């Protein structure tokens, strides 16, 4: 599952500096563009809430390159939901996982929704950065996800927030990831997306 792919010229120093300062990283996902901050950064998570106009207390989904990045969030390696998920990743499949202590991205909750993305360059980015990131859609809360990096750059520039945009061209669009939690050992689909769950 570990990403070892070459990355495009994305300005890694600028991306790292933006994250370290509590800024927002914008990147292409399997469908639209997403917005990433360090899930452990209170300043970064607050910047996302401001940028999107998102309700405080609403947890943010997270993406990770591999199991090491997931475990660094405080997910136990033997958690049943993680064991179920890792047999299916990488995929457009987000799974609710227990964490040992709340994170800013979990909004005080004891779980976090995580996926190892199907997009190879995105896994490579996460590996190069050395951290998991939030992956909420790039749009004002309640709006349509933005797929065009030109439109995204315009919105981000007007926001007043510090950001770094990794321009990979227009994203393909389509359904978001499928969101699942394990209930009694069986998967329960909370949001049907592009991934079809089969037990």
What confidence tier does 199 reach under pLDDT thresholds 50, 70, 90? low
Instruction: Kindly report the pTM of this predicted structure.
Output: 0.91
**Domain residue ranges of the chain, discontinuous segments joined by +:** 20-191
For the beta carbon of residue 112, count every other beta carbon within 10 angstroms.
Answer: 26
Q: Per CATH, the architecture of 20-191 is what?
A: Alpha-Beta Complex (3.90)
The predicted-structure confidence for 145-162, as pLDDT tens digits, reads as follows 999 999 999 999 999 999
């Amino acid at each position: 599952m570990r990403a070892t792919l070459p990355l495009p010229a994305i300005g890694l120093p600028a991306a790292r500096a933006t994250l370290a300062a509590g800024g927002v990283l914008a990147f292409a996902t399997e469908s639209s563009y997403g917005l990433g901050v360090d899930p452990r950064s209170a300043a970064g998570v607050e910047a996302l809430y401001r940028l999107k106009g998102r309700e405080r207390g609403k947890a943010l989904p997270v993406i990770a390159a591999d199991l090491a990045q997931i475990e660094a969030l405080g997910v136990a390696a033997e958690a049943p939901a993680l064991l179920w998920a890792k047999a299916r990743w990488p995929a457009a499949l987000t799974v609710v996982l227990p964490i040992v202590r709340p994170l800013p991205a979990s909004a005080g909750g004891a779980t976090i929704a995580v996926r190892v993305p199907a997009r190879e360059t995105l896994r490579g980015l996460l590996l190069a950065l050395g951290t998991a990131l939030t992956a909420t859609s790039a749009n004002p809360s309640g709006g349509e996800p933005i797929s065009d990096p030109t439109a995204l750059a315009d919105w981000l520039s007007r926001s007043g927030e510090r950001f770094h945009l990794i321009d990979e061209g227009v994203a393909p669009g389509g359904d978001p990831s499928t969101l699942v939690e394990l209930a009694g050992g069986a998967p329960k689909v909370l949001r049907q997306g592009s991934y079809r769950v089969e037990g």
